[in-house]
Structure 1
Amino acid sequence: MKHLQELSEREYFASVRQRPGMFVGKTSFAVLAAFLTGYDQHAVRHGSPGLAGWREWLVTRRGQDCNHAWAGQVLHIALPNGWDNMWDLPPADERHTIDVMFQLLDAFLAEREVA
């Protein structure tokens, strides 16, 4: 088993995806989005790229822009018919959105690894 420092970003986020409650307590899209935002801010503050370019990548993936940050872009992709409150998604939407978020994040990081 690798130590945390030895994990690539993709491996790290795969472990978060497997056991989100271990990282954030209550497993919800909004809480995981806050966690990822914190990860990004910490990375940037310490000279790493963090999630730089992810919002733009999501906009390109979606094929449409709006004024939402990256979390809103994920919601647009996962729930194209809309949502009322990202802090109170129905359980099925919550699971689906979390799944889509991690799929998209992995695809983004995979592309970035090759670039």
Structure 2
Amino acid sequence: MTDREYFAGVGRRPGMFVGETSFHMLTAFLTGYDQHALRHGGPGLTGWHEWLAARRGRGCNHAWPGQVFHIALPNGWDDFWNLPPEDEQHAIKVLFELVEEFAAERAAAQDSQTSGGVRRRAEPRPTQDEPLPVNTSSWFTSTETGPPSSE
């Protein structure tokens, strides 16, 4: 099953994957999917935030769920956590439309990299045995890995 097929299934029956269907539960689910894929060598949603900013035509300091809100609700919203039901349903619909579009573009890019039936390898990702940075946020400047020392 491809990512596109999987995401389409989640979009068709979100309650089956997250219980009570809400934008926040679905974004948490997709974040978990992304982190699991990355940990196990898959692409996850690598490039998703940047793709959303390009799709919108501008960036902002919101994480990707906020970027989706900007696209789905261009007139803004009053309370991120308590959307009117019609706005939440619209945001969920747009979320899965965007995920489909992103996955389709990524699949097309992967197909265009195929040369003579052999796919070029992507840059290797850290394995489970390699230490991960303590904080990977772009604003965090420390290069230390692992837990802080007890000095």
Q: How does the TM-score come out when normalised to structure 1?
A: 0.92
Does 2:73 correspond to 1:79? yes
Structure 2, unpaired ranges of 5+: 110-151
Per chain length, whose mean CA-contact separation is higher, i.e. which structure has more relative contact order (CA < 8 Å, sep 6+)? 1
The runs of 4+ residues in structure 1 deviating greater than 4 Å are none
In the alignment, the residues of structure 2 paired with residue 78 and residue 38 of structure 1 have an alpha-carbon distance, to the nearest angstrom, of 22
Q: CA RMSD in A?
A: 0.8
Measure how far apart 1:81 and its partner are: 1.1
Q: Is the 8 A contact 1:29 1:86 kept in 2?
A: no
Q: Which has the larger radius of gyration?
A: 2
SS in 2 for 1:49: coil
Q: Is the 8 A contact 1:40 1:51 kept in 2?
A: yes
Counterpart in the other structure of 2:18: 24
In the alignment, the residues of structure 2 paired with residue 47 and residue 84 of structure 1 have an alpha-carbon distance, to the nearest angstrom, of 39
In the alignment, the residues of structure 2 paired with residue 85 and residue 17 of structure 1 have an alpha-carbon distance, to the nearest angstrom, of 24
How many residue pairs are counted as aligned between the two chains? 109
* More helix, by proportion: 1
In the alignment, the residues of structure 2 paired with residue 42 and residue 84 of structure 1 have an alpha-carbon distance, to the nearest angstrom, of 32
Q: Is the 8 A contact 1:21 1:27 kept in 2?
A: yes
Counterpart in the other structure of 1:4: none
Measure how far apart 1:26 and its partner are: 0.8
Q: Is the 8 A contact 1:30 1:86 kept in 2?
A: no
Measure how far apart 1:57 and its partner are: 0.4
Structure 2 letter corresponding to 1:101: L
SS in 2 for 1:92: helix
Match for 2:107 among 106, 109, 113? 113
Give CA deviations for 1:39-97 in whole Å, capped at 9, x if unaligned. Answer: 00000011101000010000001011110111110000000111133322111001100
Q: How does the TM-score come out when normalised to structure 2?
A: 0.70
Counterpart in the other structure of 2:36: 42
Does 2:61 correspond to 1:67? yes
Give the fraction of aligned pairs with identical amino acids, expressed as a percent.
68
Counterpart in the other structure of 2:3: 9
